[in-house]
Amino acid sequence: MKKSVLDLTEEEAIAELAFLAKRISELDIAYHRDDAPLVSDAEYDKLKHRNEAIEERFPTLIRQDSPSLRVGAQVAAEFQKITHTVPMLSLSDIFSEEDVYAFVEKIHRFLGIPDSEDIEIVAEPKIDGLSFSAVYENGKLMTGATRGDGSIGEDITANLKTIRQIPLSLHQNEDLFDVPPQKIDIRGEVYMSKPDFFELNQIQAEKNKKIFANPRNAAAGSLRQLDASVTAQRRLSVFAYACGEVNPITWKTHYEFLEQLKKWGFPVNPEIRVCHNTQEMIRFFNELTEKRSSLPYDIDGVVYKVNDLSLQKRLGFIARSPRWAIAHKFPAEQAVTRLNTIRIQVGRTGALTPVADLEPINVGGVIVKHATLHNADEISRKDIREQDMVVVQRAGDVIPQIVRVLTDKRPIDSYAYEFPQVCPVCGSRAVREGEDAVTFCTGGLYCPAQQIEALKHFVSKDALDIDGLGDRNIELLFEKGWVKNTIDLLNLQKNHELELIGLTGWGLKSANNLFDAINKVKSGVSLDRFIYAIGIREVGEATARLLAHNYISWSNFQSAMCSDSALEQLLHIEGIGPIMAQYIVDFFQEEHNCQLLNQLSRQINITDYVAPIKKETPLSGKSIVFTGTLETMTRAEAKAKAQSAGAKVVSAVSAKTDYVVVGVNAGSKQTEAEKLNIKQISEKEFNQMLDV
Ligand code: IVH
């Protein structure tokens, strides 16, 4: 017979809370991961209640890994940000068997391993959910985050803790040597199983609440809840499949790591297989395609990963994706429906984009109502007409497309679509420039559609990131006549505060939140974001950063762009071509834009550009040439390493070359280097220069 909670001493409470945390976690794993409950539900509930009762009496003794923390914490206004110490990368996609062969061949070539020698590849289902990162320190779950942009995610610790399949402490075998790493960032996918998804939608329907289009949306909507107690009520599941920062690492292959994850209590997908050659990889893909519909969760392809971690390390990354892994996606889903009307959308830069409004149709679990038609040429090439029956295709997150028209089902009174010659919004002439397939409205910022789109762009996440102003609200403020341009937006509080508070759907709190967000922007925005936000045609984030990097301050940039030498200056910047340069110059020559920019820069504190600190290496900014055969790596590997150390690799020796890396049997390039007196370094020296 257990002692009553009221009679427990503090020491006894400490011991019992520790026991309960461990026991409940074991039961969770048996129930959720192994589908093999060890006790009845009533027994389980009894343990949870006892844990809660002890915690209520001794609140200071609540453990970090307490099972009661799985119900969620209090509601915050927004998620905190978490920087991933190792970025969460994405994968390149492939779609065919040939692509699989090409992937494997490339790996062999990069590593200099003959095709006759097998390289083990782990094939895993690609789970269609949302990726998470869970950081454990000394075996305890410390923080949880979403992927975000790969570098910075959202802090969803409270939400992750509500998912029973995520261990609050990594399970340790009795074996004393089996200690978890001091730190490990475990990554995987949060998903909702098909049965849980159907059940949730049924409950939502009964409560007259939002119906989710597919399990992925349901998982996303459930996980990213500021109120984690909502997450706690949804049944979410996870599969772990990767790690970020880890110290120390005790496994040598990816497969060993997956085995370790299981031991720690994480669910690992049961369909994973080690393949020894391309044929086995393709066989796995085909078998999984067959199995797909009978699996209790959605998958959208197969991920192939090089098994050996030392090879993974040598292969490294290209931009944001690893060379050692790739996603082989299932073919796009298709369905047939009626195209009701063709509508023309006017974009920020005046581009007229035709959009097909469809009879809503379920394409692989997602209800599709619209498809992009790209431009006039695309419509005439496919001879797409209103009222046609069309094949619609959806692949991953891309906008649905029309594959073809079923002409035998075409109504007899149908007629070819005529692309408008005037802007459907402002009536200005619509023109096509040169070879360009895109038709543009010539109304510029006099066209209301362009004004609205410019505003949407101005407040968007990557521009000024003004929270609380979704597309609908911008349209509303525009229709009211309160916000016609960006400067009106900055003056919204001054000119329309009371009216906004009184507007249906608004109120004191949301209006104040918006004013706070606008004031935050006024107090400081970095030059690169500002340049991106003002919406110069073709100037994306990367170009905005390049311009900011070159001019550092807004006053420098503005006076340069308004000077006679603007075009010439821009053409000297590497990465800016003549067309882009002309767009930038045109933008600053427009009187209307200049006036707006003067007013904006008076109200917004545009802070000088601070270039991100790059790790300096002895090779940073150096131009290098390789000659001869290298012994410890292939040429491709050497080139990739040199580039990530900041060097520029060129093929011919010239006076501008800084180093020539000389391998075995060096040829004419070495002679050339001698002639031009260029510094020659050995492979060993090259490796040392990388190693800092
Ligand atoms: S590995 C560096 N394995 O796919 C590689 N990703 O397109 C990191 N995903 O963001 C990812 N199942 O959300 C990996 N078995 C699996 C996966 C998987 C689903 C998702 C993940 C990732 C995206 C990449």
113 closest CA partner among 308, 264, 245, 248: 308
The yes-or-no verdict on residue 71 having pLDDT over 70 is no
Q: Which residues contact 171 (CB under 8 A, 6 or more apart)?
A: 25, 26, 29, 263, 264, 265
Q: What's the rounded Cα separation, in Å, for the pair 451 and 279?
A: 55
Top mutation candidate among 92, 126, 285, 326 for ligand 1, by most atoms within 8 Å of CB: 126
Do residues 392 and 361 make contact, with C-beta atoms less than 8 angstroms apart? yes
495 closest CA partner among 475, 518, 473: 518
Q: What's the rounded Cα separation, in Å, for the pair 72 and 74?
A: 7
Using a 10 angstrom Cβ sphere, with 0-12 exposed, 13-18 middle and 19 or more buried, the burial of residue 624 is buried
126 C-alpha vs ligand 1 centroid, how far in Å? 6
Q: Which residue in this structure is represented by tokens 């915050």?
A: 76
Band the pLDDT of 83: cuts 50, 70, 90.
very high
Residue 176: what pLDDT?
58
330 C-alpha vs ligand 1 centroid, how far in Å? 15
Residue 307: what pLDDT?
98
Top mutation candidate among 89, 93, 128, 131 for ligand 1, by most atoms within 8 Å of CB: 131
Calculate the dihedral angle through the C-alpha atoms of 622, 626, 627, 629, rounding to the nearest 10 degrees.
150
Residue 77: what pLDDT?
63
Phi-psi group of 112: left, alpha or beta (phi > 0 → left; psi -120 to 50 → alpha; rest → beta)? left
pLDDT tens digits, 270-328: 999 999 999 999 999 999 999 998 999 999 999 999 999 999 999 998 877 899 999 99
Using a 10 angstrom Cβ sphere, with 0-12 exposed, 13-18 middle and 19 or more buried, the burial of residue 406 is exposed
**Residue of the CA atom closest to atom 6 of ligand 1:** 126
Using a 10 angstrom Cβ sphere, with 0-12 exposed, 13-18 middle and 19 or more buried, the burial of residue 262 is middle
Top mutation candidate among 89, 90, 321 for ligand 1, by most atoms within 8 Å of CB: 90
Q: What's the rounded Cα separation, in Å, for the pair 91 and 304?
A: 10
Low-confidence winner among 19-23, 57-61, 254-258, 542-546 (lowest mean pLDDT): 57-61
257 C-alpha vs ligand 1 centroid, how far in Å? 16
Residue 331: what pLDDT?
87
521 C-alpha vs ligand 1 centroid, how far in Å? 35
Ligand 1: residues whose CB is within 6 Å?
A: 89-91, 124, 126-127, 131, 147, 189, 241-242, 303, 322, 325, 327
Strand partners of residue 134:
144, 186
pLDDT tens digits, 335-381: 999 999 999 999 998 999 999 999 999 887 788 999 999 999 999 99
Residue 36: what pLDDT?
65
Top mutation candidate among 92, 147, 189, 295 for ligand 1, by most atoms within 8 Å of CB: 189
640 closest CA partner among 107, 104, 100, 103: 107
Q: What is the average pLDDT across 513-531?
A: 94
**Residue of the CA atom closest to atom 9 of ligand 1:** 126
Residue 435: what pLDDT?
76
Q: What is the average pLDDT across 51-78?
A: 75
The yes-or-no verdict on residue 72 having pLDDT over 50 is no
pLDDT tens digits, 144-203: 999 988 888 999 999 999 999 999 999 987 765 668 999 999 999 999 999 999 999 999
Enter the pTM of the model: 0.68
Residue 74: what pLDDT?
44
**Residue of the CA atom closest to atom 10 of ligand 1:** 90
176 C-alpha vs ligand 1 centroid, how far in Å? 33
Structure-token pair, residue 668: 């004419």
pLDDT tens digits, 604-629: 999 999 877 667 889 988 999 999 99
Q: What's the rounded Cα separation, in Å, for the pair 414 and 595?
A: 49
Q: What is the average pLDDT across 443-449?
A: 86
362 C-alpha vs ligand 1 centroid, how far in Å? 25
3-state secondary structure of 67: helix
Residue 37: what pLDDT?
67
Q: What's the rounded Cα separation, in Å, for the pair 277 and 562?
A: 60
Do residues 316 and 323 make contact, with C-beta atoms less than 8 angstroms apart? yes
Q: What's the rounded Cα separation, in Å, for the pair 190 and 133?
A: 10
Do residues 328 and 99 make contact, with C-beta atoms less than 8 angstroms apart? yes
Question: What are the φ/ψ torsions at residue 317 (nearest 5 degrees)?
Answer: -130, 155
Top mutation candidate among 88, 95, 127, 305 for ligand 1, by most atoms within 8 Å of CB: 127
3-state secondary structure of 190: strand
Strand partners of residue 123:
273, 304
pLDDT tens digits, 104-146: 999 999 999 999 999 999 999 999 999 999 999 999 999 999 9
Question: What are the φ/ψ torsions at residue 305 (nearest 5 degrees)?
Answer: -135, 135
What residue type is 304 in one-letter code?
Y
514 C-alpha vs ligand 1 centroid, how far in Å? 36
State which H helix or E strand residue 641 sits in: helix 635-644
354 closest CA partner among 299, 271, 417: 417
Distance of alpha carbon 476 from its chain centroid, rounded? Answer: 30
Q: Ligand 1: which atom is nearest the Cα of residue 130?
A: 13
690 C-alpha vs ligand 1 centroid, how far in Å? 29
**Strand 152-154, strand 389-394: pairing:** unpaired
The reply to whether 126 belongs to the active site is yes
Q: Which of 126, 329, 622, 669 is catalytic?
A: 126
211 C-alpha vs ligand 1 centroid, how far in Å? 26
DSSP string, 518-584: HHHHHH-EEHHHHHHHTT-TT--HHHHHHHHHHH-SHHHHHHHHTSTTHHHHHHTSTT--HHHHHHH
Can you give the length of the chain in residues?
692
Q: Ligand 1: which atom is nearest the Cα of residue 126?
A: 12
- The percent of residues in the chain predicted with pLDDT above 70, rounded, is 96
The yes-or-no verdict on residue 255 having pLDDT over 80 is yes
**Mean pLDDT over the full length of the chain:** 91
Do residues 141 and 168 make contact, with C-beta atoms less than 8 angstroms apart? yes
Strand partners of residue 351:
440
Do residues 27 and 79 make contact, with C-beta atoms less than 8 angstroms apart? no
Q: Which residue in this structure is represented by tokens 């002890």?
A: 54
**Residue of the CA atom closest to atom 18 of ligand 1:** 126
- The percent of residues in the chain predicted with pLDDT above 90, rounded, is 70
Low-confidence winner among 19-33, 303-317, 447-461, 521-535 (lowest mean pLDDT): 19-33
Q: What's the rounded Cα separation, in Å, for the pair 13 and 10?
A: 5
Q: Which residues contact 610 (CB under 8 A, 6 or more apart)?
A: 526
475 C-alpha vs ligand 1 centroid, how far in Å? 37
